[in-house]
Structure 1
């Protein structure tokens, strides 16, 4: 089945790929549509300001998951190391496209903990869903959490597993089995920006620190207001990282490790 899940490394000029609303606005303007630069600027400002808290919460959930699953944290770090090595050079746009496992990890965090608890759609024509008839002009509330935790789409829906977002896994599922950014042309206008900014944040932290927690998956309780959050917060301990890749550290333990700073 064709997947509609967003590829955040995609070339937006490829008309066969799903585009988000901002891509469409820019293309329409280029084609002569009556959108001013101010119109597009206002959408971008909304995207950047409105998305700051959602991205921050997703970063918190992701770091918590990495702290609970050190083997996955090591795999993400090894990918980061393969690009940057033991350097402090800044991230560049081309680097972000190479962080594919980190992107899988972020998507899996969003699957388990979609910070946008619901989104709304208006039905434009009568449709049948199972044994129900939804009439035209009906407003529908769609909760991503229910979809993301459905064993019909994810075999172990309560388990944190970034391999749920390999290209093969995505292609095998319904196109709207992952709707953390809503879906379709009216999906989240800031989805690409959000993914890029979260990659920068997580990669920068993992280049310098290991993350740890005493919290367990069963300890996480969720609360919903405008956004979905952890009731007990995101208790993390950061320690300075031995920057060598995991296979080197395992084969050659550092006989004189630097003092570990705890944050």
Structure 2
């Protein structure tokens, strides 16, 4: 029996040495980090609820001043949240590859801009950059204004009752990006297909983060055998069928227009002339031989994924902050009154540019509550971060949430203070201390679109309503997710303004 037990113990020690004392692991273990356990390292630390996982990362950032490592063979991750290290990773092409974790998005987005690497990413980035040129963005503005009006009417119907702004604003941003990206009015298409599409994209995001935090689901083979894998496949079919149908309809409409059988086609639901959509650009590029059907599908799905939830999150927290800081809300309303007076006309692009204080408010909201709390890169060649040697093939998690709370650059970091982004108060701030839209070559291609949408919707809301608080900042409980998600609804009241 003793020999038997000795054999088992020896085997376990050998496994432990292989897992944790190989050349790469030794370098990772030299970096400070939470306590590692025998053989499994930090694996059990990550296999917790999404709420516990979010807090675990925050606690680790508070415990270790510059960076920390997590190791659970074969996965190693270095976690950074100081601007000097962030600049090293994000400022150039040397470490531009997305982490292998993003492969969990591949069944959905395939090789779209968000997850692709190398020459394919460079080619797609070049194609899509033109879709977000200022002159092109103006073409989407009419779509935003229509959706703003629908949002205002829905808020007016609440008659001052508490509103769950998470679901309300998510519907608004999803409708807006669907119309801007695909030329489809999702509000009008409240069919089984449209509702199923909304449900599918929400649940797919939940599955991805659950898989990321459970080591035993990292393998495609094991994941696909679980009920989660089977459910994901069902939702993927719904999402892809929906976007494929829209793409084909748009192609047919464009082709018909080119041969003269239709002129200035009308939307079958609204009766209005169809407006420019990002999809039109992709179809045009296909005609030039620069992208194929699969590529169009990838980028449309990417637009829908990246273009609605992130903006919805920012709008949710901005509304919460304005409700709980009436002094700031008053300043925003005064600025809007200076621009519009008693005129109820639609806002223009020039009006948005004049909303300087609202711009500060959005920036400060994104500092406190970045829509994407972390991004991940794959370190493909050795580098040095905070004087530690980081081996190749190491994941690097950039924790934007903690980066934005660096007291050196943001004194009293939990305070909501939009004026900290005034030019005179930003002097000397590290260029990589604030990166709500990521940074460097792989920064968010749609950030101008997002800012335009947020200023348009917030100005529309505050021209019509005062916002009263129900949910307090201290009530927020965050959950690990692809975006900064709360566990509970966020409630405010919209009290209609009476313009004298």
Residue among 201, 206, 219 paired with 2:462: 206
Contact 1:48–1:190 (CA<8 Å) still a contact in 2? no
1:219-238 matches, within 5 Å, as 219-238=475-494
Deviations 1:83-117 (A, max 9, x none): 11111111111111111111111111111111212
Deviations 1:145-175 (A, max 9, x none): 0101121221011111111211233342111
Contact 2:129–2:445 (CA<8 Å) still a contact in 1? no
Tell whether 2:134 aligns with 1:26.
no
Unaligned runs of 5+ in 1: 5-20, 28-33, 245-263
Structure-2 separation of matches of 1:69 and 1:222? 21
Contact 1:113–1:228 (CA<8 Å) still a contact in 2? yes
Count of aligned residue pairs for this structure pair = 221
Residue among 378, 401, 419 paired with 1:163: 419
Q: Report the secondary structure of 1:51's partner residue.
A: helix
Task: From the superposition, tell whether residues 42 and 102 of structure 1 become closer, same or farther in structure 2 (CA, over 3 Å).
Answer: farther
**Normalising by structure 1, what TM-score?**
0.74
1:98-247 matches, within 5 Å, as 98-123=354-379, 125-243=381-499
Q: Report the secondary structure of 2:485's partner residue.
A: strand
Contact 2:311–2:450 (CA<8 Å) still a contact in 1? yes
Question: Which 4+ residue blocks in structure 1 deviate beyond 6 angstroms?
Answer: 36-42
Structure-2 separation of matches of 1:91 and 1:23? 30
CA drift at 1:124: 5.3
Contact 2:469–2:492 (CA<8 Å) still a contact in 1? yes
Structure-2 separation of matches of 1:87 and 1:68? 27
**Normalising by structure 2, what TM-score?**
0.40
Tell whether 2:334 aligns with 1:78.
yes
Structure-2 separation of matches of 1:42 and 1:103? 32
Task: From the superposition, tell whether residues 44 and 87 of structure 1 become closer, same or farther in structure 2 (CA, over 3 Å).
Answer: farther
Structure-2 separation of matches of 1:165 and 1:22? 31
Tell whether 2:347 aligns with 1:91.
yes
CA drift at 1:222: 1.4
CA drift at 1:25: 3.7
Structure exhibiting the larger radius of gyration computed from Cα positions: 2
| RMSD over aligned Cα atoms | 2.9
Partner of 1:257: none
Task: From the superposition, tell whether residues 106 and 195 of structure 1 become closer, same or farther in structure 2 (CA, over 3 Å).
Answer: same
Q: Report the secondary structure of 1:236's partner residue.
A: strand
Structure-2 separation of matches of 1:153 and 1:222? 24
